[in-house]
């Protein structure tokens, strides 16, 4: 045996080589099942082969929780009512008003900001895409369409 680490024995144990001997893993499992009380046997027994039941249907994890999906449904309802008849209030207002198609969230959509209409801005899809573009973000911040650094995600009382 080495001083620094454990080395495996080269020969198998004698009791496994005798005629009529039991396999070591099977013996180990039987021994554990005998010595451990039934209520704790499942904690100690190491299965030799992984058993997967084909009859059990696997359940997928939800991508969106039930609570968040309810909030999203309420948000969609409110946005559809809110945006009707509004004009784009971003760059299009300089050129000629287009009808607003999307709702831009000035401070984000986290928590209560999702339904806080004070921070909503009606925009067309072209202006909304422009706001996300890094070239126009400084301009959008100076005009008040994007939150300044440190204000993003802050909720008002």
Question: Residues of 142-156 as b/e, b for ≥16 C-beta within 10 angstroms?
Answer: eeebbbeeeeeeeee
Apex CA 80: angle with CA 69 and CA 149, to 5°?
A: 75
Distance between CA atoms of 134 and 70, rounded to whole angstroms? Answer: 33
Is residue 103 scored above 70 in pLDDT? yes
Task: Pick the more confident residue, 155 or 82.
Answer: 82
CA dihedral 139, 143, 146, 151 (to 10 degrees): 120
Which pTM does this prediction carry?
0.58
Query: How many beta carbons lie within 10 A of that of residue 130, not counting itself?
Result: 19
CB 124, CB 100: distance < 8 Å: yes
pLDDT single digits (tens) 11-22 = 767 666 766 665
Per-residue pLDDT tens for 20-76?
665 555 444 444 444 555 555 555 544 445 555 566 677 788 899 999 999 999 999
């Amino acid at each position: 045996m080495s001083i620094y680490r454990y080395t495996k024995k080269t020969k198998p144990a004698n009791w496994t080589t005798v005629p009529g001997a039991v396999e070591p893993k099977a013996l180990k499992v039987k021994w554990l099942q005998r010595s451990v009380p039934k209520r704790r046997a499942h904690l100690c027994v190491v299965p030799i082969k992984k058993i997967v039941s084909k009859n059990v249907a696997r359940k997928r994890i939800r991508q969106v929780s039930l609570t968040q999906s309810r909030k999203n449904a309420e948000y969609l309802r409110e946005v559809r009512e809110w945006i009707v008849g509004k004009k784009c209030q971003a760059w299009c207002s300089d050129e000629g008003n287009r009808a607003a198609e999307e709702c831009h969230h000035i401070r984000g959509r986290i928590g209560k900001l999702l339904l806080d209409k004070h921070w909503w801005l009606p925009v067309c899809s072209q202006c909304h895409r422009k706001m996300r573009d890094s070239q126009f973000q400084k301009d959008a911040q100076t005009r008040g369409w994007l939150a300044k650094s440190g204000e993003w995600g802050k909720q008002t009382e």
